[in-house]
Copies of this chain bind each other. A is one copy, B any other.
């Protein structure tokens, strides 16, 4: 087969995989938004049939042959071309999916299903001992996986690569350690600061329908298209990029707290803009038609949620609107008090409820522990003790019970080792990208004050979204900002913001 025809054949096969994936996404979205409870069994049978078909189509030996053929052809001579990137990433995914022994994959699937059930019980009883044997099993299996992948360097690399392809533990560990030190220092300053935000402002009565209207108008101003997406309600908010022309987001409303849905919508719409900005029309099924890593995805959501949504400039334009919409709750509030309230920093036990400043400390703690677990430096039996002592050191408070400590997250029971760091990578990328955007568009904050968010959106699309998976995350950061990943932009951004708000 001529390389050109091999490439076409590969595209055709990947397009079918992508279409089946997109069907699965519609079913997954429906399951979490609208599906009647009684349909749960049917839904799991539908999804399992589709997953099986997708796996079979993608791991078809013919796919492997086509990739090999193209790797040995002139077709990838230009290493900067989209075709090269597509073949590089397909090779990566194909190898990962075909390298593990079937028995290991099945063993993991069985174990993590059971482990999640036991984790629910353990968390309810707040008893780490109950979960410990399951954590041991999961860690042992993930060690086997990492060994089977046989990556260079740290064993953790192979797991991290599932979510952040190409990232290396060695590269990020320094950045993370520096970030931790800076954050602990910042928390100390905030604790002793003379000013304290009055958070009761955002905990007044906020009509849910009006929250939706306001949230949708903000998402619209960000450039999120409701002709190619929609907003629904779920317990656990998410964004799903179903395929070309279909990217949906969800949120949850608290009638007595403005923040949850508002920043939640901005967060998910940020993910949505990434999905909408990728050129899926021309690359559906190929890596150029999908996002490059979870960390880059998270950088987009966090930028809109924090760098934009928690900036004073944004509220210069949107606060008067919010005041008109929520007259009874915000009519008498000053913008600076509101701005302080949405930027309140307060150490707390639970990661998913954490503020912008403490959030990364939660992640870094988990990263340190799971890395030590994988290398064998930390025994599962010692996880609760180690968690609590580090928590005290980083946050300055004592963990009162395991359910507020090492049992709070589902990730480890589900076998998601290597996932946590992508949250903090996202925050780091986000600050680094935002600083670069500001450098290239010095009046950007002024634009925000006039409600103009589109220049940022377009900048993100041109510099990040449109590339799909062309560049690995670390390459992309260097391409866009001219520098490798650094903790400094995030620390600088936070110090500036909190210095102003807390007056330290």
A35 — which chain B residues lie within 8 A by C-beta? 246
Q: How far is the CB of A55 from chain B (nearest CB, A)?
A: 15
> Within the assembled complex, what's the spacing in Å between the Cα atoms of A36 and B46?
23
A19 — which chain B residues lie within 8 A by C-beta? 45-46, 49
Contacting pair B230 A42 (CB below 8 A) = no
- Give chain A's interface residue range (CB within 8 Å of chain B): 35 or more
Interface residues of A in 204-249 (CB under 8 A from B): 225-230, 232, 242-246, 248
- Residue A16 at the chain B interface, CB threshold 8 Å: yes
Contacting pair A41 B230 (CB below 8 A) = no
> Within the assembled complex, what's the spacing in Å between the Cα atoms of A227 and B22?
26
- Residue A172 at the chain B interface, CB threshold 8 Å: no
> Within the assembled complex, what's the spacing in Å between the Cα atoms of A227 and B39?
8
Contacting pair A226 B27 (CB below 8 A) = no
A43 — which chain B residues lie within 8 A by C-beta? 246
Contacting pair B42 A246 (CB below 8 A) = yes
Residue of B nearest to A19 (CB): B49
Contacting pair B49 A245 (CB below 8 A) = no
> Within the assembled complex, what's the spacing in Å between the Cα atoms of A229 and B20?
25
- Residue A38 at the chain B interface, CB threshold 8 Å: yes
Contacting pair B41 A226 (CB below 8 A) = no
Interface residues of A in 13-71 (CB under 8 A from B): 16, 19-20, 22-23, 26-27, 30, 34-43, 45-46, 49-50
Residue of B nearest to A245 (CB): B38
A248 — which chain B residues lie within 8 A by C-beta? 36
Across the interface, A26 reaches (CB within 8 A) one of B30, B38, B41, B243, namely: B30
A244 — which chain B residues lie within 8 A by C-beta? 39, 41-42
- Taking A36-B227, A229-B36 as contacts, is the C-beta distance between A243 and B23 under 8 angstroms? no
A45 — which chain B residues lie within 8 A by C-beta? 19
Q: How far is the CB of A244 from chain B (nearest CB, A)?
A: 5
Contacting pair B27 A242 (CB below 8 A) = no
What string of 1s and 0s marks CB contacts (under 8 Å) between A244-272 and chain B?
11101000000000000000000000000
> Within the assembled complex, what's the spacing in Å between the Cα atoms of A388 and B37?
50
Contacting pair A245 B39 (CB below 8 A) = yes
Contacting pair A226 B20 (CB below 8 A) = no
- Taking A16-B49, A23-B23, A26-B26 as contacts, is the C-beta distance between A42 and B225 under 8 angstroms? no
Contacting pair B38 A228 (CB below 8 A) = yes
Across the interface, A34 reaches (CB within 8 A) one of B42, B46, B230, namely: B230
> Within the assembled complex, what's the spacing in Å between the Cα atoms of A330 and B502?
61
Q: How far is the CB of A91 from chain B (nearest CB, A)?
A: 25
A245 — which chain B residues lie within 8 A by C-beta? 36, 38-42
Q: How far is the CB of A281 from chain B (nearest CB, A)?
A: 9
Residue of B nearest to A40 (CB): B245
A40 — which chain B residues lie within 8 A by C-beta? 245
Residue of B nearest to A34 (CB): B230
Contacting pair A246 B49 (CB below 8 A) = no
> Within the assembled complex, what's the spacing in Å between the Cα atoms of A43 and B45?
21
Contacting pair B36 A230 (CB below 8 A) = yes
Q: How far is the CB of A11 from chain B (nearest CB, A)?
A: 14
- Taking A16-B49, A30-B30, A49-B16 as contacts, is the C-beta distance between A246 and B38 under 8 angstroms? yes
A22 — which chain B residues lie within 8 A by C-beta? 42, 46
A229 — which chain B residues lie within 8 A by C-beta? 36, 38
Residue of B nearest to A16 (CB): B49
Residue of B nearest to A281 (CB): B41
Contacting pair A228 B36 (CB below 8 A) = yes
- Taking A45-B19, A49-B16 as contacts, is the C-beta distance between A225 and B38 under 8 angstroms? yes
Contacting pair A246 B36 (CB below 8 A) = yes
27 example contacts (A-B, Cβ-Cβ < 8 A) are as follows A19-B45, A20-B49, A22-B42, A23-B27, A23-B46, A23-B49, A26-B26, A26-B27, A26-B30, A30-B30, A35-B246, A36-B226, A36-B228, A36-B230, A36-B245, A38-B225, A38-B229, A38-B246, A39-B228, A39-B244, A39-B246, A40-B245, A42-B243, A42-B244, A42-B245, A43-B246, A46-B243
**Which residues of A are in contact with B by a Cβ distance under 8 Å?**
16, 19-20, 22-23, 26-27, 30, 34-43, 45-46, 49-50, 225-230, 232, 242-246, 248
- Besides A16-B49, A36-B228, A40-B245, 8 new A-B residue pairs in contact (Cβ under 8 A), listed by A number: A23-B46, A26-B30, A30-B30, A34-B232, A36-B226, A36-B246, A38-B246, A42-B244
